[in-house]
Chain A
Amino acid sequence: MYAQMVDTGVKAVASRAEMSPEERAFQARIDADIKVEPKDWMPEAYRRTLIRQISQHAHSEIVGMLPEGNWVTRAPSLKRKAILMAKIQDEGGHGLYLYSAAETLGVSRDQMIADLHAGKAKYSSIFNYPTLTWADIGAIGWLVDGAAIMNQIPLCRCSYGPYARAMVRICKEESFHQRQGYDIMLSLARGTPEQKAMAQDALNRWWWPSLMMFGPPDAESVHSAQSAAWKIKILSNDELRQRFVDQTLPQAEYLRISVPDPDLRWNAERGHFDFGAIDWTEFHNVLRGNGPCNRDRLATRVRAWEDGAWVREAAMAHAGKLATRAAGQAKAA
């Protein structure tokens, strides 16, 4: 997902007996669906895990602007270009909502950005794949944003108030992203044979990375169990992935393009689609920094940050000068 394999720093989920009185009271409030707010007492591990998860989510939104930015100047029409710019601007906005939510936990914006640039903080594996054709912009909106919605709707109910509120805002806007993506796919699917082939090629390349977005099976993961107990992870990776497959296949059928998985078939007994094995070696390889675009993405972020340093400094100097001048005038008057 936008936040994958978030480390909780715990070795086992503590039982009630092992918890301190504060921890027990905290867990009882979570169990009663009472939201945790910034000034409330919270276990240190909960705070740290949330910082990791929310900042990773924020970084994904910001880095996620890059693959789409690649097509702004080459969008096929002015209308598509305006829509794409609005979508990318939304992603920037989502990153900002999330950074703000993380800051309520006591981490600074600059620290989070430094951690991303140092490779200490992650962003979603999906944004390390290239956008080779215009159809990729359609596939990203349809599949990647579709997968993101799958994960983010349950997170609107998560236990941390500022994160839940940011998620509500994001989900409202995300639906536009998915639809504009499917709209691009529809145009291509109804177009010339070359356009249809382009749509098929985009699905071929984005299908498996989209499934990997949900992260590896987490049934035995202690981190997932802990995050579930804290209600900062609502559904398991596999549950979300299955929902995504079930919902997306009919959409692909409507486009008359096929999902690149020979093992894909309806399982009437389960009431779900069965699908083939995911290549987790590829996923871990991308997480380790060896995906097609990792170095390029990070270098672009670092360059933007460094090139913008003088603007940030000048704005602060300007604000300081105005404040001094205003204070001087107040004194004179």
Chain B
Amino acid sequence: MSNEWPLWEIFIRSQHGLAHKHVGSLHASDAAMAIKNARDVYTRRNEGVSIWAVRSADIVASSPGDKEALFEPAASKVYRHPTFFPMPDEVKHL
């Protein structure tokens, strides 16, 4: 009962050159089984060409309580976006 297989988080890279993306989690006794299970559970329809498996216990996550402190400072810095700078219509390639 208490000897449950550990939980793994699965990341898949699709064929289109995008980064690995989190697709879900699964249980496996070790890394090799995690990859095998991920293949069966998350790539039955050509979803990917590469799998990462990370033990869920090894993931460090930000806390929802820190959301404002972490992310709010960016909200006031709109000048980080190119659209902040209006350009004259006549000027091209900017």
Residues of A within 8 A of B4 (CB): 108-110
B7 touching A319 by the CB < 8 A rule?
no
Q: Chain A's nearest CB lies how many Å from the CB of B22?
A: 9
A39 touching B41 by the CB < 8 A rule?
no
A39 touching B33 by the CB < 8 A rule?
no
Bound-complex Cα distance A313 to B2 (A): 11
Provided the pairs A39-B61, A315-B33, A316-B29 are in contact, do residues A96 and B3 lie with their beta carbons within 8 angstroms? no
Q: Does B14 contact A (CB under 8 A)?
A: no
Bound-complex Cα distance A318 to B32 (A): 12
Provided the pairs A39-B61, A40-B64 are in contact, do residues A109 and B29 lie with their beta carbons within 8 angstroms? no
User: Could you give 13 example pairs across A and B, Cβ below 8 Å?
Assistant: A39-B64, A40-B64, A89-B40, A90-B44, A93-B44, A100-B26, A110-B1, A110-B4, A169-B23, A313-B3, A315-B30, A316-B3, A319-B33
Q: Does B5 contact A (CB under 8 A)?
A: yes
Query: A-side interface residues toward B, CB under 8 Å?
Result: 37, 39-41, 86, 89-90, 93, 96-97, 100, 103, 108-110, 114, 165-166, 169, 173, 312-313, 315-316, 318-319, 322-323
In the complex, the chain B residue whose C-beta lies closest to that of A86 is: B44
Q: Does B63 contact A (CB under 8 A)?
A: yes
* Segment 1-31 of B: residues with Cβ below 8 Å from A: 1, 3-5, 7, 23-27, 29-30
Bound-complex Cα distance A315 to B40 (A): 18
- What is the total of A-B residue contacts with beta carbons within 8 Å? 53
13 new A-B contacts at CB < 8 Å, known A39-B61, A315-B5: A39-B64, A40-B64, A89-B40, A89-B44, A96-B26, A103-B7, A108-B4, A165-B24, A166-B24, A173-B45, A315-B29, A318-B30, A319-B33
Residues of B within 8 A of A315 (CB): 5, 29-30, 33
Residues of A within 8 A of B45 (CB): 173
* Segment 43-67 of B: residues with Cβ below 8 Å from A: 44-45, 61, 63-64
Q: Which of B23, B29, B61 makes the CB contact (< 8 A) with A319?
A: B29
Q: Chain B's nearest CB lies how many Å from the CB of A176?
A: 9
Bound-complex Cα distance A168 to B6 (A): 25
Bound-complex Cα distance A103 to B5 (A): 13
Q: Which of A97, A109, A322 makes the CB contact (< 8 A) with B27?
A: A109
Bound-complex Cα distance A97 to B23 (A): 10
Bound-complex Cα distance A103 to B29 (A): 17
A93 touching B5 by the CB < 8 A rule?
no
A312 touching B5 by the CB < 8 A rule?
yes
Residues of A within 8 A of B1 (CB): 110, 114
A93 touching B41 by the CB < 8 A rule?
yes
Provided the pairs A39-B61, A39-B63, A322-B30 are in contact, do residues A100 and B5 lie with their beta carbons within 8 angstroms? no
In the complex, the chain B residue whose C-beta lies closest to that of A39 is: B64
Residues of B within 8 A of A93 (CB): 40-41, 44
5 closest A-B pairs by beta carbon, nearest first, are: A315-B29, A319-B30, A319-B29, A100-B25, A39-B64
Q: Chain B's nearest CB lies how many Å from the CB of A107?
A: 12
In the complex, the chain A residue whose C-beta lies closest to that of B37 is: A96
Residues of B within 8 A of A109 (CB): 4, 27
Bound-complex Cα distance A30 to B63 (A): 19
Q: Which of A41, A165, A166, A318 makes the CB contact (< 8 A) with B29?
A: A318
Q: Chain B's nearest CB lies how many Å from the CB of A289?
A: 24
Residues of B within 8 A of A316 (CB): 3, 5, 29
Bound-complex Cα distance A96 to B44 (A): 14
In the complex, the chain A residue whose C-beta lies closest to that of B31 is: A319
Interface centre among B25, B29, B30, B64 (most CB of A within 10 A): B29
